[in-house]
Structure 1
Amino acid sequence: MVLSPLMDENRRVRRNIRLGSLGAALENYDFVVYLYVATLIGAAFFPSGTDTLRLAQTLAIYAIGFLIRPVAGVLIARVADRVGRKRLFVINVMVMSAATLVTGLLPTYAQVGWPAPILLMIMRVAQGCAVGGELPAAAVFVSEHAHRGGVAKAGAFQQAMTFVGLLFGASAAFGSSLLATHLTPGTPSLAWRLPFIIGGVLGIVSVYLRRNLDESPAFQQQSRQPRRTQPRPVRDVLKNHGGAVLFGALVVSGLAVANIAYITFWPTYLQVSVHLSATEALAASLISVVGALVMMPFWGRVADRHGWRFVLLWAAGVTATGTVLLLAVLPGLPRGSSIALWIGLPAAVGAGAIISVVPGLVSSVFPAEVRQTGYSLSYNLVIAILGGLLTLAMVGLLSALGSGAPMYVGFLACVITVLAAALVSKIPLYLGRGVEQAASDTTGEVLAQEGKTP
């Protein structure tokens, strides 16, 4: 009888964390699907001009979603800090799901002319607005629901779900292409429409599931305190928590650099510099992604047990070791060697460790009343800048630095992570391990988290 309420509470915590992480999977799903079918979208919405011009126009519309994220994310975060995580959480997924579904149903240029690319751009703007609020919202939500000794593990699970979305998006795009080519050759548009329709339907299902989410205990505790008005929330967060914002941006920079070097740019690099076929590069990329995904919960448990500094140093060390291995082995591999499929796995596992710590750590450096706004500032500004520019810069770096360019960028992620490890003990924490260092005005929140510890 004593254990029953505790077991029920643990089930509720796990349910909230799992459902809260669904949006991260959907966001990455949409990210991958659009890139995998970009050439088909270009042919459907920009029929004139060269293949390169069509692809550039398609990716320009894709980039609009990144550019809108910082502004939308901060505005959505401010509302979440005032009215609650749950309400905005559900609305974000509704907007994202609707925009994804409608994208799969849009008329093409051949059907309606110039309004077609404009409608596509509007859908990307809507998705960018939703995603700008979704990922920070998901990170804060799962971190606040986690037990005090499980904040890092909860955040690592959310990041693992983003990689699940990546894998599912690649599979959906590949399967739809096969379906349109071999089973229904008379409907070529199905190859780009079906993945978006699937994503939209999955999003609608997640909205239904999220109806039963509980508001986070940290926000409930904070909402019972006298409200301090913040007419200029961004300015106030920068003024009162500027150090936390800069530290959060530093940690997110490590994520962005590691992710681009060894996850998102990796298949392109293998084709351009290692001369693998597109199929082989995809297989190598999937091996790396699965390896990083499987290890993420382990890194979260390590952080919960031994602290953020410990896991950051290990993440940097594993990534650096994998990077040295790549520099030593990859240039000498004979063309077509099967070792190239697996050689990126150690560095990808290290990159996954860097990526896995971000939700829990960045959520922990802000008090509840500004947590969503602070996280959104740290995350969206860095992703908007590095997410687009560094990917483009990698092409130029290959010309300037040669085939080792991704590895040099990987070393940069290690340096950033070591710097974060050196600074983390100087930053007050409001969730998870180390909350004793937090300011006294957050004692209620700390006690609320401790009260939920099994």
Structure 2
Amino acid sequence: MESPTTAATVPVEAADPATLRRVITAASLGTLFEWYDFYLYGSLAVFFGGLFFPKGNETAQLLASLATFGAGFGVRPLGAIVFGHVGDLVGRKYSFLITMATMGLSTALIGLLPTYEQVGLWATFLLVLLRLLQGLALGGEYGGAATYVAEHVPDSKRGYYTSYIQTTATLGFFLSMGIIGTTRVLMGEEFFRSSGWRVPFLLSFILLAVSLYIRLKMSESPLFSRLKSSGKTSKNPLKESFANPLNRKYVLLALFGATAGQGVVWYTGQFYALTFLQSALKLDWKTAYILVSIALAIATPLFIFFGWLSDRIGRKRIMLAGCVLGALTYVPIFMAMKHFTNPQGLPAADPAQVNHFMMVVLLTVQMVYVCMVYGPIAAFLVELFPTRVRYTSMSLPYHLGNGWFGGFLPLIATAVTTSTWAQTTFGEGALYTGLIYPIVVCIITVIVGGLFIHETKDHKLETHIQT
């Protein structure tokens, strides 16, 4: 699964332990802050519809808000192409700095936007524009972080070390919920809804300064530096990644045999579960945030565990097992969530009837699936592609799987659940019809990945010099 061209390979020794710690800390902290920026909107999507979209139908407002959330995911593949090209052509560090500045500024500016009541559709337009800039930046971030760390670490521990990056998406989401929840409590619900919601976004100015300082102190990865000094970097990463039939084959296999399933499992467990609690089960936001936060805190170390385990038993079997478990158990899990939260379907869930312990258990089980599919994915993707086009080649399938298959999941699932078809066909069971989408995608991933992708854990990352 290496370069389709003939190549001489030059081994590159892994960095010393102190350097590895600095590399992982720098890449992970910067990425964590970017995920925090990106997920602020997602955490507030339930009531953002009333701030930036025409008033009237609450369901339409929610769907519009989720559509804007999904728009950021929709442009992530474009960001992957643009910044992946820059990263393979010029360098990983340079691309890092651009994505960080773009993300930080676009997020902070959301905190300064006027609302729909103040400027009408201009508010909607500006929100969507900034959300698209966020998506572009994030599209270039993850592939760079994963590639950068993977090109520093020993081959035998690549799953373990890159799994630290995998924690940043969940920690960023966790951080966004924590700051939003704290702000809402300290400022009061009424003030938060009117203007206090701006505070978490404006904090991005501070995070941007910290992140840029961290990124500026980073040096280029040793594999890319050696490739560049030899004059053998790709002259056209896009062409080599997608015009070459063999490399294009692996891009498609990575998408349909790994990242599509990983994306829907991730967003079912962390985002759709939160939306389901608040919108479908009518649980108050504070309780929903606390329950999801506890489950996140319990499960987050498992990202590192499954990354470590993938160095021993392989990436593929762990990731596909997570997809299989999701496909088999999502419906009973969500039915149990209703049973333990709002069994009678009341307009608002009765706090006295909520079984908090069982809800944490059910949410944590979903988080375990997330850790299984996401913990090993960075190591898996970097091992599929050669150094000269690694950033570009791995970024596109990752962001198609997560940005399109995963990012649009809350919108698709909510739209299906509230559709006339679901309501008339399934009655009360329509509540669970949104799960059809992640289950089908998981099944496709298991079939494609199981039949057509070979294990990658024993692949060596070396500098490939075309001959």
Q: 1-side partners of 2:438 and 2:298: how far apart? A: 17
Can you list the C-alpha shifts for 1:118-164, whole angstroms capped at 9, x where unaligned? 33333223222211111222222222222212211222211111111
Residue 208 (structure 1) aligned with residue 217 (structure 2): no
Residue 365 (structure 1) aligned with residue 394 (structure 2): no
Residue among 223, 240, 245 paired with 1:239: 245
Q: 2-side partners of 1:411 and 1:22: how far apart? A: 33
How many residue pairs are counted as aligned between the two chains? 429
More helix by share: 1
Partner of 1:439: none
Can you list the C-alpha shifts for 1:248-295, whole angstroms capped at 9, x where unaligned? 213111211211222211123345565644444333322332233121
- The 1:405–1:14 alpha-carbon spacing in structure 2 relative to 1, beyond 3 Å, is farther
Partner of 1:288: 295
- The 1:408–1:126 alpha-carbon spacing in structure 2 relative to 1, beyond 3 Å, is closer
Partner of 1:450: none
Partner of 2:175: 168
Compute the displacement of 1:81 (Å): 0.4
Can you list the C-alpha shifts for 1:199-252, whole angstroms capped at 9, x where unaligned? 332122111111111211221232225345338527645524022102221311
Q: 2-side partners of 1:58 and 1:404: how far apart? A: 21
User: Do the aligned residues in 2 keep the contact of 1:99 with 1:200 (CA within 8 Å)?
Assistant: no
Residue 348 (structure 1) aligned with residue 367 (structure 2): yes
- The 1:227–1:170 alpha-carbon spacing in structure 2 relative to 1, beyond 3 Å, is closer
Greater RCO (Cα-Cα under 8 Å, separation 6 or more): 2
Q: 2-side partners of 1:188 and 1:286: how far apart? A: 21
Partner of 1:449: none
**Residues 305-454 of structure 1: pairs in structure 2 closer than 5 A:** 305-312=312-319, 314-316=321-323, 319=326, 323=330, 326=333, 335=343, 336-338=353-355, 339-395=358-414, 397-398=416-417, 399=422, 402=429, 404-405=432-433, 411-412=439-440, 415=443, 416-417=445-446, 419-425=448-454, 429=456, 433-435=457-459, 444=463
Partner of 2:126: 119
User: Do the aligned residues in 1 keep the contact of 2:262 with 2:323 (CA within 8 Å)?
Assistant: no
Q: What amino acid is aligned across from residue 142 of structure 1 in structure 2? A: V
Partner of 2:349: none
Partner of 2:71: 64
Greater CA drift, 327-336 or 211-220:
327-336
Q: 2-side partners of 1:210 and 1:80: how far apart? A: 14
Residue 82 (structure 1) aligned with residue 89 (structure 2): yes
Q: 2-side partners of 1:324 and 1:109: how far apart? A: 38
Compute the displacement of 1:356 (Å): 1.5
Q: 2-side partners of 1:387 and 1:309: how far apart? A: 19
Q: 1-side partners of 2:175 and 2:464: how far apart? A: 37
Residue among 109, 119, 138 paired with 1:102: 109
Secondary structure of residue in 2 paired with 1:124: helix
- The 1:292–1:248 alpha-carbon spacing in structure 2 relative to 1, beyond 3 Å, is farther
User: Do the aligned residues in 2 keep the contact of 1:326 with 1:407 (CA within 8 Å)?
Assistant: no
Secondary structure of residue in 2 paired with 1:105: coil
Q: 1-side partners of 2:57 and 2:364: how far apart? A: 37
Q: 2-side partners of 1:43 and 1:60: how far apart? A: 14
Greater CA drift, 12-21 or 383-392:
383-392
Compute the displacement of 1:422 (Å): 4.8
**Residues 263-274 of structure 1: pairs in structure 2 closer than 5 A:** 263-271=270-278
Tell me the TM-score normalized by structure 2: 0.80
Secondary structure of residue in 2 paired with 1:215: coil
Structure 1: gaps (5+ residues): 1-5, 437-441, 447-454
Q: 2-side partners of 1:369 and 1:444: how far apart? A: 8
Q: 1-side partners of 2:319 and 2:162: how far apart? A: 14
Q: What amino acid is aligned across from residue 454 of structure 2 in structure 1? A: S
Q: 2-side partners of 1:36 and 1:87: how far apart? A: 30
Residue 26 (structure 1) aligned with residue 55 (structure 2): no
Compute the displacement of 1:76 (Å): 1.4
Residue 14 (structure 1) aligned with residue 21 (structure 2): yes
Q: 1-side partners of 2:255 and 2:396: how far apart? A: 8
Structure 2: gaps (5+ residues): 1-12, 344-352
Q: 2-side partners of 1:290 and 1:392: how far apart? A: 26
Q: What amino acid is aligned across from residue 346 of structure 1 in structure 2? A: V
Percent of paired sites with the same residue? 26
Residue among 110, 117, 131 paired with 2:138: 131
- The 1:172–1:303 alpha-carbon spacing in structure 2 relative to 1, beyond 3 Å, is same
Compute the displacement of 1:54 (Å): 4.7
RMSD value, Cα: 3.4
Compute the displacement of 1:363 (Å): 1.4
- The 1:370–1:237 alpha-carbon spacing in structure 2 relative to 1, beyond 3 Å, is farther
Q: What amino acid is aligned across from residue 449 of structure 2 in structure 1? A: A
User: Do the aligned residues in 2 keep the contact of 1:42 with 1:54 (CA within 8 Å)?
Assistant: yes
Q: 2-side partners of 1:48 and 1:337: how far apart? A: 32
Can you list the C-alpha shifts for 1:74-111, whole angstroms capped at 9, x where unaligned? 02111110111011101110111111112212344565
Residue 193 (structure 1) aligned with residue 198 (structure 2): yes
**Residues 256-267 of structure 1: pairs in structure 2 closer than 5 A:** 256-267=263-274
User: Do the aligned residues in 2 keep the contact of 1:89 with 1:134 (CA within 8 Å)?
Assistant: yes
